[in-house]
């Protein structure tokens, strides 16, 4: 709905409210007149209900379009949204029930600019009027913010913001590239700051569009062009502005061009409170273009002061080293050894004599010990009677032979006795002893022992084993 119609609706609402107010004052005035005795008091609920009915009866309030900023946002556990819509001068309570809230495609939060559509009515419990929001969309700036957050999240997940990819800024650059608009405060601030702080540094301007159509392509082209120059660092940015003005530095192709740059880049976009995608991808983020220049170059005055301090400290150190070595030389000159060089020789001679004496004593001691051991061996019984050991060993061998013979004889006797006992047991169990008593052993042709007569048939051939010898026979009859 056009804004003019909205204004007419608000005017009509105001007129309706004034008419209601006039009516209420008329009743009050009438009550203050001659009819004081007929005063009728209404409850708060009745009054709030009357006001609510008045709002609900106005069709122009049943569908109102508003533009404002969200504040005091609260997402209820049941899905309802409670918040306040405000502009520069006024605010209005708003409610969006879960049935309508599920249709929005973003997550509302404080500070968002939104466009809403709903009906205005009165909440009887508090007597306050509010808008029941049925539709809600992001304002133009809000849509840009949504795109900004989406791209930021994607690039962060891809690692373009990782510290490990950041290149260090050289402390003493010789040549600096500046990518910005050729006119404006940004380039003047950067150049003046570098000239003031570090005039020995060379600067090269790479003019680029930093706003509007073609800005992102222009920035990318200049970043790629700057790679062919022998630069130590690049300052890329512009002055402050609205989010739309700074949007070229929120483009993906600009972010990737900064990331792919072989030369370290300092991002200097907008004011200190402005953050763009380029700030997160760049190797260093400066709050302002002036701040970028200060970060890119050292202060020559500070360097001179630092050099002077180093010079003083170096002179002091050299002086101290010279004094220390001078003292060492003086000590050497005054040393007893240099004044009496033979004294050192005499000391060494005494030590040598001491070592020779100790060595001679050690050798004499060893010779004496080995002489005693040799004499002891010479005086030993074995050397004097070499056959005595042989006789002892020979007698021992003879005794062992006798002992071994006795053991063998005893062992054979025991074995022979055991053998005889086993033979006797076998004889007792042998079937041949039974045959010796006149019995015989009958087997068939297969060697099977015949125990019963019915196992044989007429004309069967049998073998009869007797105590001595055996015979074969043919069965004539079986009983």
Residue 24: per-residue pLDDT: 54
pLDDT at 10 over 60: no
Instruction: Determine the average pLDDT of the residues in 314-328.
Output: 93
| Percentage of the chain exceeding pLDDT 90 | 42
pLDDT at 421 over 50: yes
Please say whether the beta carbons of 121 and 58 come within 8 A: no
Please say whether the beta carbons of 122 and 52 come within 8 A: yes
Instruction: Determine the average pLDDT of the residues in 283-304.
Output: 91
pLDDT at 98 over 80: yes
455-460-466 Cα angle (round to 5): 80
The residue that leads in pLDDT, 107 or 10, is: 107
Which regions of the chain carry the CATH code 3.40.50? 145-163+178-298
- Give the strand pairing for 233-238 and 265-269: parallel
Residue 20: per-residue pLDDT: 52
pTM of the predicted model over 0.75:
no
Looking at 60-64, 220-224, 346-350, which range is the least confident one?
346-350
**d(C-alpha 256, C-alpha 133), whole Å:** 40
Quick one: tokens of 338?
């240099």
**d(C-alpha 451, C-alpha 462), whole Å:** 12
Residues 6+ apart with CB under 8 A from 334: none
Which regions of the chain carry the CATH code 2.40.50.140? 3-138
CA distances from 476 to 171, 448, 473 (A): 136, 19, 9
The residue that leads in pLDDT, 27 or 166, is: 166
pLDDT at 35 over 50: no
pLDDT at 334 over 60: yes
Q: What is the CATH number of domain 145-163+178-298?
A: 3.40.50
Average pLDDT score, the chain: 84
The count of C-alpha atoms lying within 13 angstroms of the C-alpha of 253, restricted to the half-sphere facing its C-beta, is 12
CA torsion 152-154-157-160 (nearest 10°) is -60
Residue 67: per-residue pLDDT: 87
pLDDT at 200 over 80: yes
Residue 9: per-residue pLDDT: 53
Q: Which CATH number fits domain 3-138: 2.170.190.11, 3.90.79.10, 2.40.50.140, 3.40.50.620?
A: 2.40.50.140
Residue 172 pLDDT class (50, 70, 90 cuts): very high
pLDDT at 383 over 90: no
Return the HEC string of the chain: CCHHHHHHHHHHHHHHHHHHHHHHHHHHHHHHCCCHHHCCCCCHHHHHHHHHHHHHCCHHHCCEEEEEEEEEEEECCCCCEEEEEECCCCEEEEEECHHHHCCCCCCCCCCCEEEEEEEEEEECCCCEEEEEEEEEEECHHHHHHHHHHHHHHHHHHCCCCCHHHCCCCCCCCCEEEEEECCCCHHHHHHHHHHHHHCCCCEEEEEECCCCCCCHHHHHHHHHHHHCCCCCCEEEEEECCCCCCCCHHHHCHHHHHHHHHCCCCEEEEECCCCCCCHHHHHCCEECCCHHHHHHHHCCCHHHHHHHHHHHHHHHHHHHHHHHHHHHHHHHHHHCCHHHHCHHHHHHHHHHHHHHHHHHHHHHHHHHHHHHHHHHHHHHCCHHHHCHHHHHHHHHHHHHHHHHHHHHHHHHHHHHHHHHHHHHHHHHHHHCHHHHHCCCCCEEECCCCCECCCHHHCCCCCEEEEECCCCEEEEECCCCC
119-123-125 Cα angle (round to 5): 170
**What's the length of the chain?**
479
């Amino acid at each position: 709905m056009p804004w003019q119609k909205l204004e007419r609706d608000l005017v009509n609402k105001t007129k309706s409210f004034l008419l209601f107010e006039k009516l209420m004052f008329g009743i009050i005035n009438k009550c203050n007149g001659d009819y004081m005795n007929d005063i009728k008091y209404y409850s708060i609920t009745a009054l709030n209900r009357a006001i609510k009915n008045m709002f609900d009866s106005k069709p122009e309030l049943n569908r109102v379009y508003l533009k404002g900023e969200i504040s005091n946002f609260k997402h209820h556990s049941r899905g309802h949204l409670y918040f306040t819509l405000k502009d520069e001068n006024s605010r209005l309570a708003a409610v969006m029930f879960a049935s309508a809230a599920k249709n929005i495609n973003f997550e509302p939060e404080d500070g968002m600019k939104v466009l809403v559509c709903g009906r205005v009515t009165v909440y009887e419990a508090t007597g306050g009027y509010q808008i029941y929001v049925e539709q809600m969309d992001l304002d133009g700036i809000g849509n840009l913010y949504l795109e900004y957050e989406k791209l930021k999240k994607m690039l962060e997940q891809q690692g373009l913001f990782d510290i490990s990819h950041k290149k260090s800024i050289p402390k003493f650059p010789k040549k600096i590239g500046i990518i910005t608009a050729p006119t404006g405060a940004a380039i003047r601030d950067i150049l003046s700051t570098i000239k003031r702080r570090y005039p020995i540094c060379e600067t090269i301007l790479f003019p680029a569009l930093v706003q509007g159509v073609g800005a992102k392509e222009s920035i990318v082209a200049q970043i790629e062009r700057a790679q062919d120059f022998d630069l130590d660092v690049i300052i890329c940015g512009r002055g402050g502005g609205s989010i739309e003005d700074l949007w070229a530095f929120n483009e993906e192709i600009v972010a990737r061009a900064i990331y792919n740059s072989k030369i370290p880049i300092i991002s200097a976009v907008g004011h200190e409170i402005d953050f763009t995608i380029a700030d997160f991808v760049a190797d260093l983020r400066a709050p302002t273009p002036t701040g970028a220049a200060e970060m890119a170059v050292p202060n020559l005055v500070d360097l001179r002061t630092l050099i002077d301090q180093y010079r003083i400290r170096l002179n002091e150190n050299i002086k101290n080293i010279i004094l220390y070595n001078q003292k060492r030389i003086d000590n050497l000159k005054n040393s007893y050894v240099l004044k009496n060089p033979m004294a050192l020789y005499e000391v060494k001679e005494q030590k040598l004599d001491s070592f020779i004496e100790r060595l001679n004593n050690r050798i004499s001691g060893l010779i004496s010990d080995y002489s005693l051991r040799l004499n002891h061996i010479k005086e030993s019984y074995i050397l004097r009677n070499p056959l005595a050991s042989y006789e002892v060993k020979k007698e021992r061998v003879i005794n062992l032979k006798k002992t071994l013979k006795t053991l063998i004889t005893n062992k054979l006797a025991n074995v022979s006795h055991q053998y005889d006992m086993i033979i006797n047991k076998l004889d007792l169990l042998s079937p041949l002893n039974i045959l010796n008593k006149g019995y015989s052993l009958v087997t068939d042709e297969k060697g099977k022992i015949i125990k019963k007569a019915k196992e044989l048939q007429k004309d069967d051939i049998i073998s009869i084993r007797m105590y001595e010898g055996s015979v074969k026979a043919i069965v004539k009859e079986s009983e």
